Chains A and B, each alone.
Chain A
Amino acid sequence: MLTDIALGQYYPGNSLIHKLDPRTKILITLFFIVAIFLASGAVSYGILWGFVFLIILLSRLPLMLVLKSIKPLWIIIVLTMVIHMFTGQGENVIFSWKFFKVTQEGLEMGLKMSMRLILLLLISSILTFTTSPIVLTDGIEALLRPFKRFGVPAHELAMMMTIALRFIPTLLEETDRIMKAQTARGADFSSGNLMQRAKNMLPLLIPLFISAFRRADDLAVAMEARCYRGGEGRSRMHELVYYGRDYAALATVFVLIGLMAFIRWGNALCVL
């Protein structure tokens, strides 16, 4: 029932993208977001789309799977588009009816904004599709470690994320199980008005909370029994190492940012 959620799910594989260091992938994602905001004009967006599809190709993920990750947010994308279309200020009116009017500038703005959203979604879902949650948090921890001297609890944050991620499938499974059990007792989770439906959720939510607390308690005891005492002096089995491919990938994304910056400000530089 609840197990077919595409967003944020790991898709195992052995491609170049899968093999990249998680730190590289997180940095590339961040830099790509910078590049998205630097982009201006059709050429820039063309290059960005090309870059995203190149990564999808290299990662050997099924194209449909990646595109499916847009689905949960399509309402926001359409809304962005529509709002920009109708509120954008500009000279060239394409279409007007009573006090509604669509200008060319508004339309372009709307298109630009929704493209940015879609690109953001695609690049971040490629990150989660090609990186298992555990490796991902390892990467985050490693990237946050330099900020420790400023009081950022890197290890604790990473540990909490690992645990949270680890328990998402477990809790989904549990939800599924309790839902089935209550359905078998005639519970109805899908009909009635909002109040009624909220009330109908109680037989699901109460057992779920109880089991979540029980699991948290068990886990705390298990961690303590194995002498867990935070990140101090903790070594790891798999050390993260940068390889040639990581440097190459990072270089590519820097070139991309440079390109975006050049397209945006290049002409101004030439004039100088």
Chain B
Amino acid sequence: MPITLENVEFTYMAKTPYERKALQGVSLTVDKGEFVAVIGHTGSGKSTLVQHLNGLLKPSAGKVTIDGLDISGKGEAVKKARHQVGMVFQYPEHQIFAETVFEDIAFGPRNKGMQENEVKQQVQDAMRFVGLDFETFASRSPFQLSGGQMRRVAIAGVIAMDPDYLILDEPSAGLDPRSRDAVFAEIMALYKKRRMAVILVTHSMEEAARYSNRLLVISGGRVILDGSPAEIYQNHKNELLAVSMDVPQLFKLSDELRARGMEIQADTMTAEALEAQIKTAKGLK
């Protein structure tokens, strides 16, 4: 049940003086159960890439399929396939429009054709996932909420559609550290519970290292590296530096400690794991 891209190319504003190639010959497969981080600097084409995954942009050349079905066409089956891919845009709170939180979250499920009792169930579940109490928030106006809460409403609006694939375009941009951690904790919980595929677009190597189990590095509209974060940080440090990316600080620290003779495992990805190993090495545990 994968999403596949075959030799996808995309050109913005074709045949004008502003023409710009955003994707060149991208081929990849995303399976359910994967947590993919897409990383690259501004203008590398990562947002363009993910917009192909649910047919918002149509490739200038190449093909995008969901479960074997070409999604550039028309028809109910294609529409249904696209609805299997939930997309949370950058600053998703800017898309909120309804009078109450409930109505806004229910927008997607209703468009999907769910029955009203099912819609209510989905909205309740989605709100629980993003940590908004149903009784307190459902009937409030979304425009009176704080920025972090609004973002959660927007994310809930996508989750409530019960997608098999969830794309998140920089979900932490502009949030304070606490809201950021909370949002990611909710996404991880959801990922673990529903075993969907999560595709996370980010600038931050730290976020990629911490949450993903597969890393795509994009530069100049091409996928230049594709593999597990640990493998990429270990073996492709120079390629990362060449496209002005860097390995996470945590990884640099592990490297440094290893160079000084401490035993640190190669796949250490979180601060907690590193802390535990340092404690073991120092005999504190």
Contact = CB atoms under 8 A, between A and B. Distances in A.
Interface of A: 3-4, 11-12, 174, 177-178, 180-188, 202-204, 206-207, 210-211
B108 A181 contact: no
A187 B107 contact: yes
What 3 A-B pairs have minimum CB-CB distances, sorted nearest first?
A186-B111, A206-B97, A185-B108
A134 B111 CA distance: 43
B102 to A, nearest CB: 15
Given A186-B83, A187-B111, A203-B107, A181 B95 contact: yes
A187 B108 CA distance: 8
B89 A181 contact: yes
Nearest to A209: B97
Contact of B108 (A174, A177, A186, A204): A186
Contacts of A11: 17
A4 B13 contact: yes
Contact of A188 (B85, B95, B108, B111): B111
A76 to B, nearest CB: 25
Contacts of A181: 87, 89, 92, 94-95
A206 to B, nearest CB: 4
A210 B56 CA distance: 23
Interface of B: 12-13, 16-17, 51, 54, 56, 82-83, 85-87, 89, 92, 94-98, 107-108, 111-112, 143, 157-158, 161
Contacts of A202: 97
A188 B98 CA distance: 16
Contacts of B158: 184-185
Task: Specify which of A11, A186, A204, A210 lies most central, judged by the most chain B CB atoms within 10 Å of its CB.
Answer: A186
B97 A184 contact: no
B56 A180 contact: yes
B89 A180 contact: yes
Nearest to B143: A210
A185 B13 contact: no
Contact of A178 (B51, B94, B107, B143): B94
Given A181-B94, A186-B111, 19 more contacts: A4-B13, A4-B16, A177-B94, A178-B95, A180-B56, A181-B87, A181-B92, A182-B107, A185-B95, A185-B107, A185-B157, A186-B107, A186-B112, A187-B111, A188-B111, A203-B98, A206-B97, A207-B94, A210-B94
Given A11-B17, A180-B89, A207-B94, A186 B161 contact: yes
Nearest to B99: A206
Contact of A180 (B51, B108, B143): B51
Contacts of B161: 185-186
B98 to A, nearest CB: 8
20 contacts: A3-B12, A4-B16, A174-B94, A177-B94, A178-B95, A180-B51, A181-B87, A182-B95, A184-B54, A184-B56, A184-B82, A184-B85, A185-B108, A185-B111, A186-B83, A186-B112, A187-B107, A203-B97, A203-B98, A210-B143
A174 B158 CA distance: 19
Nearest to A187: B111
Contact of A184 (B13, B87, B98, B143): B87
A185 B54 CA distance: 11
Contacts of A182: 95, 107
Given A11-B17, A177-B89, A211 B94 contact: yes
Given A4-B13, A12-B17, A180-B89, A207 B97 contact: yes
A212 to B, nearest CB: 11
Contacts of B143: 210
Contacts of B111: 185-188
A180 B57 CA distance: 9
A2 to B, nearest CB: 12
Contact of B96 (A3, A180, A188, A207): A207
Nearest to B85: A184
Contacts of A203: 95, 97-98, 107
Contacts of A12: 17
A211 B143 CA distance: 12
Nearest to A205: B97
A3 B98 CA distance: 27
A211 B93 CA distance: 11
A11 B161 CA distance: 43
Contacts of B86: 184
A97 B165 CA distance: 64
A178 B161 CA distance: 18
A183 B13 CA distance: 21
Contacts of A184: 54, 56, 82, 85-87, 89, 158
